Amino acid sequence: MTDYSFGALRRLVVKIGSALLVDSDGRFARERLDQIAEDIAALHQQGQEVLVVSSGAVAIGCSILDLNRRRARLEELQAAAAAGQVQLVRAWQESLSEHGIRAAQILLTPDDTEVRRRFLNARGTLNKLLELRVIPVINENDTVATDELRYGDNDRLAARVAQLVMADGLVLLSDVDGFYDSDPRGNPEAVHIPLVRDVTDDVLARAGGSGSVLGSGGMRTKLLAARIATHAGCVTVIASGHVDHPLRTLAAGGRCTVFMPEGSPAAIRKQWLAGILEVRGSLRVDAGAQKALESGSSLLPVGLVEVQGDFRRGDAVQLLGPGGRELGRGLASYASEEASAIVGCRSEEIEERLGYRGRSVIVHRDDLVLFGQAGRK
Ligand code: GLU
């Protein structure tokens, strides 16, 4: 990908930093949220899919519970997150509904995006919400996250979400309008860099320390997020949320730093799938299913002829044609035992065979690569 057009991004993750949603005196800056919601509504209405990653729960909660964020202990911050999150998500819901848009809350922990078995669940829910034209409002599940087991900052969370849903755009809105060759707060001569093609260690070294006292992120966490997202095929943009209508401004060519990916999300994902070395089993399909796979569909139980091996949900399996030739690979949505139970089964029979509702696909089309497809854009 060599060109960037904000309007052409199909699926967009927008991350809003705490410093934007809380005033300098610690109060919830509801007007700013309303304005950003209006911008998001405009993108949604012109057909772009938007996922919101909103920080601010801890900062808003500290003000509700009268806690000093800098001196608070972990349990106090978690209590603050619990109190703040409910207010934060309610504000998003109210604000988006002003524009006729429904919102849904998703709270994630790192396992939900980093462990394969779990990421299938989170992704399934997010995709369904988008299909229903609902805007997911996402945050870290701060109330249960511990220091060892957390994203730590919402820049990284947003990048992981972008990777998970194969977004082609990630916008990090914060109190800076992009990346500079040195920290602009300490150096008035710092030069703004509009385009970064590769987040190298040298780029990272220019980032300086952490940002505001309200959130956990700084330029370094944004660059690391940009690295994750661009490696997943997602254009990443750092822009200021302090300007009037930040997303509208960005769409009109406003000042920002753009980080370009090396390929499309689909192509990069297929390369990754093709490169998984450990295959736990195989699924043999009939001629009809082979044709459906080749035309870009998911693998349904009805087309399944035989299941071999011992695998769990999320493990990689080989896909074999009717004659046993390897067609490609994919991540199984079912464990081997369950998959065996629904061989040849029509969708409406799955529940009867398994004893619970189950999922309609054995391998989702986003989770499979047919040989010859890897690298194709
Ligand atoms: N999840 C935190 C919150 O909602 C924000 C983390 C961050 O500042 O990046 O307050």
Q: Give per-residue pLDDT as tens, 31-90.
A: 999 999 999 999 999 999 999 999 999 999 999 999 998 899 989 999 999 999 999 999
Mean pLDDT in residue range 101-112: 94
CA of 225 to the centre of ligand 1 (A): 14
What is the rounded distance in angstroms from the CA atom of residue 5 to the CA atom of residue 76?
43
Ligand 1 near 141 CB (within 6 A)? no
Q: How far is the CA of 141 from the centre of ligand 1 (A)?
A: 10
CATH architecture for residues 7-263? 3-Layer(aba) Sandwich (3.40)
Q: Does the CB atom of residue 221 touch ligand 1 within 6 A?
A: no
Question: Is the distance from the beta carbon of residue 18 to the nearest atom of ligand 1 less than 6 Å?
Answer: yes
Choice among 6-20, 51-65, 203-217, 265-279 with the minimum mean pLDDT: 203-217
Residue 204: phi and psi, rounded to 5, are: -60, -35
β-bridge partners, 363: 299
Q: What is the pLDDT of residue 250?
A: 96
| Residues 314 and 281: beta-carbon distance below 8 Å | no
Burial string for 288-302 (b: 16+ CB within 10 Å, else e) reads ebbebbeeeebbbbb
Query: What is the per-residue pLDDT for 2?
Result: 47
- The confidence score (pLDDT) of residue 222 equals 94
In whole angstroms, what is the distance from residue 172 CA to residue 105 CA? 19
Sequence ranges of the chain with CATH classification 3.40.1160.10: 7-263
pLDDT > 80? residue 137 = yes
Q: Check whether 376 has a pLDDT greater than 60.
A: no
Average pLDDT over residues 332-348: 94
Cβ of 58 closer than 6 Å to ligand 1, yes or no, is yes
pLDDT tens by residue, 194-229: 999 999 998 888 886 555 555 666 899 999 999 999
pLDDT (0 to 100) of residue 375: 43
Q: What is the mean pLDDT of residues 303-327?
A: 95
Give the integer Cα–Cα distance in Å for 60 and 71.
15
CA of 153 to the centre of ligand 1 (A): 6
Report how far ligand 1's centroid is from the alpha carbon of 216 (Å).
6
Alpha-carbon gap, residue 69 to 59, rounded angstroms = 7
Amino acid occupying residue 352: E
Whole-number Å distance, alpha carbon 64 to ligand 1 midpoint, is: 16
CA distance 46 to 127: 19
Give the SS3 label for residue 229: helix
% of the chain beyond a pLDDT of 90: 73
The more confidently predicted of residues 1 and 290 is: 290
Residue 217 in contact with ligand 1 by CB distance below 6 A? yes
| Pocket-testing residue among 153, 174, 219, ligand 1, by greatest number of atoms within 8 A of Cβ | 153
52 contacts 209 by C-beta, under 8 angstroms: no
> From atom 8 of ligand 1, which residue's Cα is the shortest distance away?
215
Asked whether residue 163 carries a pLDDT value surpassing 60, the answer given is yes
Q: d(Cα 104, Cα 98) in Å, to the nearest integer?
A: 15
Indicate the residue type of 50. V
The interaxial angle of helices 74-97 and 30-45, nearest 10 deg, is 50
Mean pLDDT score of the chain, rounded to an integer? 91
pLDDT at 233: 95
- The ranges of the chain annotated as CATH 2.30.130.10 are 270-370
Per-residue model confidence (pLDDT) at position 208: 67
Alpha carbon of 57 to ligand 1 centroid (Å): 6
* Cα 59 to ligand 1 centre (Å): 8
pLDDT at 112: 87
pLDDT level of residue 377 (50, 70, 90 thresholds): very low
- Alpha carbon nearest to ligand 1 atom 2, residue: 55
The domain defined by 270-370 folds into 2.30.130
Is the CB–ligand 1 distance for residue 212 below 6 Å?
no
Residue 308 has pLDDT above 70, yes or no: yes
The SS3 assignment for 11 reads strand
Pocket test for ligand 1, best of 86, 138, 142, 210 (most atoms within 8 A of CB): 142
In which order are the strands placed within the sheet that holds 134-140?
Answer: 102-108, 134-140, 49-54, 11-16, 169-174, 235-240, 256-259, 195-196
pLDDT for res 362:
95
Measured from the CA of 18, which atom of ligand 1 is nearest? 8
Express as a percent the part of the chain with pLDDT over 70.
95
Identify whether the C-beta of residue 365 lies closer than 8 Å to the C-beta of residue 297: yes
Q: Is the CB of 108 under 6 A from ligand 1?
A: no
- Top pLDDT among 182 and 162 is at 162
What is the position in ligand 1's atom list of the atom closest to the CA of 60? 10
Angstrom distance (rounded) from CA 73 to CA 205: 31
